[in-house]
Amino acid sequence: MRWRILALLFFARIGMGFQFQTLASVGDGLIVAFGLDYASVGLLIGLFMAPGLILALPAGYLGRLISDRDMAVLGLMALAMGGLVSALAGGSAGIGAGRVIAGIGFLVINLYFTKMVADWFEGREIATAMSILVMSWPFGIAMGQVGHAWVADLYGWRVPFQIASVYCLLAASAVFFFYRARSDLPAVKSGGAGRLTRQEWLLVLCASGAWGVFNAAYVTYLSFGPKVLQDLGQTAIAAAGVISVGSWLMIGSGALCGQIVDRFGRRNLVLTVCMSAAVIALWLLSQPGAGLAASLLFGLVGMAPAGVIMALAGLALRPEVRAFGMGVFFTIYYAIMLATPPAAGAILDATGQAQGPIWLAMILFACVVPLAIGFKYFKAGSGMFAQKARTSI
């Protein structure tokens, strides 16, 4: 049953990446249509993350009142509505409003889909399950990288938003009719729903920081990697196709990486190898003729541990505080994600070099490893704390 649930959530969550990628794919068209600069495009990309900074904790609390399924359906509907608002916009303000509405849905989907998978796979193959779930994000983005650029070239920048919205509405219907919650989990008690232990706070801080910088680096690569290849002489559509190769490949490599960690452990060793490969791949991107090799390395190794990192959230929290803890997790995640795209765009405006934002992405990828080491340290500390408490008694 749990694998059927995972498949349903995977295909529904594709809409999240598919809708997100619309702005990055039509960014050049918006610059022409509305006279924007790259910092402004980066801000519009980042607005997708803005609601999470304010609403992640309230969304976590709502899990006490509304079922996971209904919250997920509402999130998918908001994602669809935001895309339609952006499609109908007459300027950057209207597009920004649509991005914020879609961002509310993005927050809810992120939080509750992660919780749903953590609930179903607690104690068994969670790294594999999370790896499969999070691969829906690059799957949707890869669809958008190829499809949105082609559709926008033929029909204009508004149509990709509309197509992504239709997908999200279909996904909402599927989740509403086919999702079933696991029945044997501990009940959430209203009095203690928001009480994380000191250790859980520390673990969530490390896990959310690692997930935030990892995704911020990935989004920077998606948004500005094609510009690097265009500066080397490739067309916009060809550059988008090369960059999308990494997103397609990480779907398979991510599931394999999750299996490796579930079976053999050594999570931090795996993360160190993969983040080193990600940094090397981003450096290769600016070398003439190395774009495809960089994308292959990035997808096969650099992005493979996405689910392993996301699984840290499930490992950090008890089931009875998971909804609220996920709210904390995503508040920190969204703060990082909101700040990064405008910063990357400002670097491009200031330097005039598309490789500038890519250097920022390299630094962010490198930050994953120390945060994962911190998570292991605080997780191991729980045994010492418990032993000290028993000794003192």
**Is the CATH number of domain 2-178+194-385 1.20.1250.20?**
yes
Q: Are 224 and 349 in contact (CB under 8 A)?
A: no
The string of DSSP letters for 303-344 reads TTTHHHHHHHHHHHS-GGGHHHHHHHHHHHHHHHHHHHHHHH
With 0-12 / 13-18 / 19 or more C-beta atoms within 10 angstroms meaning exposed / middle / buried, residue 93 is: exposed
pLDDT tens for each residue of 292-344: 999 999 999 999 998 889 888 878 887 777 777 888 888 888 889 878 888 88
Residue 151 CA from chain centroid, whole number: 24
Three-state SS string over 114-173 comes to HHHHHHHHCCCCHHHHHHHHHCHHHHHHHHHHHHHHHHHHHHCCHHHHHHHHHHHHHHHH
pLDDT of residue 354: 82
**Tokens for 362?**
């390299």
Positions in the chain whose pLDDT score sits under 70: 123, 184-194, 382-393
Q: How high is the pLDDT of residue 366? A: 95
pLDDT at 194: 52
Q: Which of 189, 170, 61, 190 minimizes the C-alpha distance to 115?
A: 61
In whole angstroms, give the CA distance from residue 388 to residue 139: 47
Other CB atoms closer than 10 Å to residue 228's CB: what's the count?
24
Digit-coded pLDDT (tens) for 70-111? 999 999 999 999 999 999 988 888 998 999 999 999 989 988
* CA end-to-end distance (rounded Å), the chain: 44
Cα distance between residue 326 and residue 309, in whole Å: 14
Distance CA 260, CA 197 (A): 30
Residues 42 and 344: beta-carbon distance below 8 Å = yes
Q: What is the pLDDT of residue 78?
A: 96
Closest CA to 334 of 149, 58, 139: 58
| pTM of the predicted model as reported, rounded to 2 decimal places | 0.73
Q: What is the reported pLDDT for 185?
A: 61
Ordered by start, the domain boundaries in the chain are 2-178+194-385
DSSP string, 201-268: HHHHHHHHHHHHHHHHHHHHHHHHHHHHHHHTT--HHHHHHHHHHHHHHHHHHHHHHHHHHHHH--HH
**Of residues 269, 164, 286, 274, the one with CA closest to residue 221:** 286
